Amino acid sequence: MNVTLEPDVESAWLEMVELLTRAADLGIGRPEADLHTHSLALGAQLVATCALAALGGAEPVAHAALGLNAEGSPADLIRAAAVAARRCSVNQLPLGARQVIDALEALVGECRL
């Protein structure tokens, strides 16, 4: 089942996914990444995958909302993803989104370690 979101909510949700995906790309499979960074990257990929799954259906076309300017460490990008997610009211999100938000907040907590 595909879920249709309001345009501003969809934009924020997909921005969160893009930031998490970039965080994952920075830490997974990079020999210079330490164990904590690798762990954060894996968590970011898991949360991004769950966020897309909550939308149902095929993966939406990526929006170019961020362009090439989203930079920082995986922890910085994870924190930025949480900021994007906070622009969405849980009531506006699909079933299962609460669990995604909870997992993201737990991941932000791991960034502080």
**pLDDT single digits (tens) 22-74:** 999 988 877 777 888 889 999 999 999 999 888 776 555 554 455 545 678 99
Per-residue pLDDT at 81: 95
Mean pLDDT of the chain: 82
pLDDT at 84 over 60: yes
Query: Per-domain residue ranges for the chain?
Result: 7-111
Per-residue pLDDT at 106: 96
Whether the pTM exceeds 0.85: the reply is no
Per-residue pLDDT at 64: 44
Phi, psi of 104 (to 5 degrees): -65, -45
High-pLDDT (> 70) share of the chain, %: 81
Phi, psi of 64 (to 5 degrees): -95, 35
pLDDT band at 5 (very low <50, low <70, confident <90, very high): low
Per-residue pLDDT at 27: 86
d(CA 92, CA 90): 5
